[in-house]
Amino acid sequence: MGALDGIRVIEIANWAAAPSAGVLLAEQGAEVIKIEPPAGDSMRGLMQQARVDIDPPIDHAFQFSNRDKLSVAIALNTDRGRELAHELIASADIVLMNLIRGRRERLGLTAEEIREKNPSVVVGILTGFGEVGPDAERPGYDLTSFFARSGLSASVGGYDGRPPRWRAAQGDHVAGLSLYAGLVTALLHRSTTGEGSVVETSLLQSAAWSNAFDLTRSAAEDRPSRAKDRYGSVNVASEAFLCADGKYVQLSLAEPTKGWRIMCEVLGLGDLEHDDRYDSTMKRFHQMSELIDLFDVEMAKHDSREVVDKITELGGVAAVVMQSHEVVVDPQSIAVGMLRPVDVQDTTIEVVNSPFSVRQHADQLASSPAQGIGQPGADTDSVLQSILSLDDATRDELVAQGVIGRQPPSA
């Protein structure tokens, strides 16, 4: 039994950010009905451009973002389609959207219109830049709204100022977590007051939370946080170094004096621990280029796993820098249930699980397979029949009119 059993969610959202919040709701037991155009969410098939060694090819990214949801295909650009959407919304506990304000107004799906017909509903809205301000109507993806506009790209980019190449949907999924947190908070409020709420977040605001230390300092000191090369580090024991086995080790010994002592012992540099050239944090800072070069040479003599284990034994923190294919088979990843199976297209794939678990007993960590979402409109007939009581003839007529879509029988 999930924490959100009995909660119905109507999701009118595409791409990755808001749908990832829908996944979190579904995995806690909510019934999530995804309204998408008859042609399908724009993200369908996007990641199949890359080579995937599965026959038939599975849309891994789309299944990650939409597993455990029902697909209802409705043309919201038709009057009857909007009526159907509002009828479904009338039965909902949560309405989840990523439409910018102008489009919501054109479709009659503003929060005010939705709550007028369903006062207890929780409306969740995720956009690129928020609901007010000069850019409220501007569309945004995580590369633009989350990384570029938040200062993250400038803070962690190359020393030459070139922005980094971010991986797909990193910012989207952080924003999805933000929206999920707001929605669950609003449900708790409703459980005690009976009142619905409007939850608003954006890629920009979620990024600010991620980049809070830099932005807070800039607000206080009126100066930018800029990327630095390795020689500009303030702590040699918080850098990454290449080891003999070809793997990098990321050091994170945040206490500089303790970190210096630990690394001197691990690397067999005990004679330097109290050397008057390096016996203070300030002296080590002024000799940083020399220490970086020294650590490069010494770390290259050791195996990465051996270095991490020694640092850990001495009370420090470090980790081997892993490639993604190593992460998914890492014993620690497996132990915490990082991946979850999804049954889709007569086969089973694995996708990343929710980043938290809610359990009442210690043995509840393992989860059963999720159900993959079907083709666009796979659940149109069953949802419209069960919730809106539309009979076969009415649904057939709506299909003929282009108001709704359904999955072809052979799909």
In this prediction, residue 224 carries a pLDDT of 83
Sheet holding 347-352, edge to edge: 347-352, 339-344, 370-371
Residues 176 and 51 in one domain: yes
Residues 114 and 247 in one domain: no
In this prediction, residue 345 carries a pLDDT of 82
121 CB-near residues (< 8 Å, 6+ apart): 89, 92, 93, 94, 95, 114, 115, 196
Q: Residue 226 — very low, low, confident or very high, per pLDDT cuts 50/70/90? A: confident
- State the Cα–Cα distance between residues 214 and 235, nearest whole angstrom: 18
Residues 289 and 170 in one domain: no
In this prediction, residue 326 carries a pLDDT of 93
> Does the N-terminal peptide bond of residue 134 adopt cis geometry, omega within 30 degrees of 0?
no
Residue 222 forms part of a structural domain = no
Spatial CA neighbour of 339 closest among 64, 66, 65, 57? 64
pLDDT, one tens digit per residue, over 77-126 is 999 999 999 999 999 999 999 999 999 999 999 999 999 999 999 999 99
Residues 152 and 30 in one domain: yes
Domain boundary among 325, 357, 382: 325
- State the Cα–Cα distance between residues 267 and 296, nearest whole angstrom: 11
pLDDT at 361 over 80: no
In this prediction, residue 56 carries a pLDDT of 56
Residues 180 and 301 in one domain: no
Residues 142 and 166 in one domain: yes
In this prediction, residue 289 carries a pLDDT of 93
In this prediction, residue 374 carries a pLDDT of 92
Confirm if 113 and 97 have CB atoms less than 8 A apart. Answer: no
> Per-residue pLDDT averaged across 363-368, rounded?
63
* Angle CA 172–200–10, to nearest 5: 80
pLDDT, one tens digit per residue, over 15-41 is 999 999 999 999 999 999 999 999 999
DSSP SS3 for 240: strand
Confirm if 253 and 240 have CB atoms less than 8 A apart. Answer: no
What residues form DSSP beta bridges with 11?
34, 96
> Per-residue pLDDT averaged across 63-67, rounded?
94
Residue 110 forms part of a structural domain = yes
- State the Cα–Cα distance between residues 168 and 180, nearest whole angstrom: 20
Domain boundary among 304, 325, 346: 325
Looking at per-residue pLDDT, the higher value among 166 and 299 belongs to 299
Residues 315 and 171 in one domain: no
CATH number, residue 375? 3.40.50.10540
| Percent residues over pLDDT 90 in the chain | 76
- How many domains in the chain? 2
In this prediction, residue 165 carries a pLDDT of 85
Residue 217 forms part of a structural domain = no
CA 308 to chain centroid, in Å, comes to 28
| Percent residues over pLDDT 70 in the chain | 94
Q: What does pLDDT average to over the chain?
A: 91
> Per-residue pLDDT averaged across 344-359, rounded?
88
Residue 307 forms part of a structural domain = yes
Residue 134 forms part of a structural domain = yes
Residues 139 and 25 in one domain: yes
pLDDT, one tens digit per residue, over 158-183 is 767 778 888 889 999 999 999 999 99
Residues 124 and 163 in one domain: yes
CATH number, residue 253? 3.30.1540.10
Looking at per-residue pLDDT, the higher value among 122 and 218 belongs to 122
Domain boundary among 265, 294, 325: 325
pLDDT at 7 over 50: yes
pLDDT, one tens digit per residue, over 265-293 is 999 998 898 899 998 999 999 999 999 99
pLDDT, one tens digit per residue, over 371-391 is 999 999 999 999 999 999 999
Structural domain containing residue 102:
8-212+337-405
In this prediction, residue 168 carries a pLDDT of 87
Residues 250 and 208 in one domain: no
In this prediction, residue 411 carries a pLDDT of 45
pLDDT at 50 over 60: no
Residues 125 and 177 in one domain: yes
